[in-house]
Amino acid sequence: MTATVPPKAPTFLGLPTAPRGVGHLRGDQSFPDAARGALRDGQLRANLGHATSTIRGKRARVVAEVPDWEQLRAAGKALKAATMARLDEHLEELERQVTARGGVVHWARDANEANEIVTRLVLATGAPEVVKVKSMATQEIGLNEALEAAGLDVFETDLAELIVQLGEDQPSHILVPAIHKNRAEIRAIFARTIPGVDPGLTDDPRRLAMAARQHLRERFLRARVAVSGANFAVAETGTLTVVESEGNGRMCLTLPETLITVMGIEKVVPTWRDLEVFLQLLPRSSTGERMNPYTSTWAGVTPGDGPQEFHLVLLDNGRTAVLADEVGREALHCIRCSACLNVCPVYERTGGHSYGSVYPGPIGAILSPQLTGVEDNASLPYASSLCGACFEVCPVAIDIPSILVHLRAEHVEAQQKPTAEGVAFAALARAMSHPRLWHLAQRAAGLGRLVSRGRPTLPNALPPPVSGWTRSRDLPTPPARTFVQQWTEEHGK
């Protein structure tokens, strides 16, 4: 059996990437352009700075108390690599086990197909609305829009997702989608959008959380259909896992008659025992807790307990194209903890919206371009100073900086026509490969001192790309002679 290539879809090794026109993997601006606006938003900067420094501190404390953290990380990485190497077999086993326990497994090539499957399943129940557990996969494919287009009401139940939904906003963080909003802004959204909300609602986080509890309580109790994602799915037992904090997940996974879980194919793990690693790595990296308040697991359908109809939708949407890249496939190891976002100096300043995808931050900068094809998100691999803080905290040790560099090369090598930058880098490479040419090039650079007219720094107004530097930083006037020249003159060769 070979993969067929849909016409005109961007492909890698003949494997289709996530289709355009559906879902939330592509922004309408390049990263530098989107970031420029975000950087000017002082309130956003303050909110992000406060939130990320808080979570960084919590994570550091609970990770430091685990003496075998590095061994757990190594095991997590190895488990993921081993799983990917046999991904087809594990998915087939998962399908067998889920089916044997009363679940129904569906396969979706892409976002459109997954949306069609879920919409059809919901409509078949006759329910007018669905409650949702926070899920990156359904955000990625734009499921809410698809369900709403079919005339269904969709209620996000995670507090942060609710804030985003009520504020008609977009999520900006994997774990805390409303991280860009502070308490006062959230109070304003609730006061404006929640029917019958207490007019005396204050911005105390406890009061705000209680307002959400009240708002959603009745919806949970009447819900007939729920849609969730999954953090892990155990192939050998067919056990699905949702890791959460608020109990909204438990409400959705327990009370409705029908549960539909949409899961990226990379979320499978081979054995139950593998969770002993991930359930230690994930909460400490994610919310900075020893364990998250609630983890729910279920295998198919349990008579008398929870939904009696269970559907599992296995989603590709570009994941197999990522898998085909031997360097980039490590991005599929991600367990969506968001520790890399919280330590990233770029994310902390620009926020998640600048990335234009539901996957922001360092992991988004390597995942989104691979899911869509690098040319559809070409600015993202460059949205990093390569400082390496993300790699250091990643609980499954994804070498994000190396993959960023790899994707930059993919982008450069994908250019059909020569670019000005490409010509300049090729010329510089040629000079740096031949000492004689290099010394000539250095002499030419040294001529830069002529424009400084005796001042220690070059003028601020210089043509691009140097202007990118001199707009905010002085550039010292180049010396008349290089070090190697001076040394050789003094000491001989």
Partner 1 sequence: MTAREEVLGRIRTALGSERTTPAEVARDYAQVHPVTGPELLDLLVDRVEDYRAAVLRCAPADVPATVRAALDQALGAGWAAGDVVVAPGLAQEWRPEGCDVDDDRPAVQLADRAASVTAVAVAIAETGTLVLDGSPACGRRALSLLPDCLVCVVTADQVVGSVPEGLARLDPLRPLTMVSGPSATSDIELQRVEGVHGPRTLVVVLVQPPRVGG
Partner 2 sequence: MKVALFATCLVDTLTPSVAHATASLLQRLGHEVVVPTGQACCGQMHVNTGYRREAVGIVANHVRAFAGAEAIVAPSGSCVASVHHQQADVARRAGDEELARAAEELAGRTYELSQFLVDVLGVTDVGAYYPHRVTYHPTCHSLRLLKVGDRPYQLLRAVRGLELVELPGAEQCCGFGGTFAVKNADTSTAMLTDKMANVLSTHAEVCTAGDASCLLHIGGGLSRLRAGTRTVHLAEILASTEEAVSPQQSTEPSLSHPTTPTVTA
Any contact of residue 69 with partner 2 (CB under 8 A)?
no
Please provide the DSSP assignment of 353-409 as one string: GGG-SSS-HHHHHHHHHHHH-GGGGTTGGGS-----HHHHH-TT---HHHHHHHHHH
Any contact of residue 345 with partner 2 (CB under 8 A)?
yes
Any contact of residue 109 with partner 2 (CB under 8 A)?
no
What six digits make up the tokens of 285? 């990296």
Q: How many residues of this chain bind partner 2 (CB under 8 A)?
A: 73
DSSP 8-state assignment for residue 302? B
- Residue number with CB closer to partner 1 (108 or 383): 108
> Considering only residues 42, 168, 433, 461, which one is a binding residue for partner 2 as defined by CB under 8 A?
433
DSSP 8-state assignment for residue 13? T
Tell me which residue of 42, 392, 14, 97 sits closest to 269, measured CA to CA: 97
Looking at the chain, how many residues does it have?
493
What six digits make up the tokens of 177? 């989608």
What six digits make up the tokens of 148? 């709403």
Residue 164 in contact with residue 177, Cβ under 8 Å?
yes
d(CA 350, CA 178): 14
What does 298 interact with, of partner 2, partner 1, none (CB < 5 to 8 A by kind)? partner 1
d(CA 322, CA 50): 34
What does 384 interact with, of partner 1, partner 2, none (CB < 5 to 8 A by kind)? partner 2
What does 20 interact with, of partner 1, partner 2, none (CB < 5 to 8 A by kind)? none
CB of 263 to partner 1, least distance (A): 12
What six digits make up the tokens of 162? 């609710």
- Residue number with CB closer to partner 2 (195 or 456): 456
CB of 353 to partner 2, least distance (A): 14
CB of 256 to partner 1, least distance (A): 10
What does 299 interact with, of partner 2, partner 1, none (CB < 5 to 8 A by kind)? partner 1
What six digits make up the tokens of 457? 């720094």
> Considering only residues 422, 440, 451, 459, which one is a binding residue for partner 2 as defined by CB under 8 A?
422
Contacting partner 2 within 376-415 (CB under 8 A): 381-389, 391-392, 405, 408-413
Any contact of residue 457 with partner 2 (CB under 8 A)?
yes
- Residue number with CB closer to partner 1 (212 or 335): 212
Residue 17 in contact with residue 321, Cβ under 8 Å?
yes
Contacting partner 2 within 35-64 (CB under 8 A): 35-36, 39, 45
CB of 16 to partner 1, least distance (A): 8
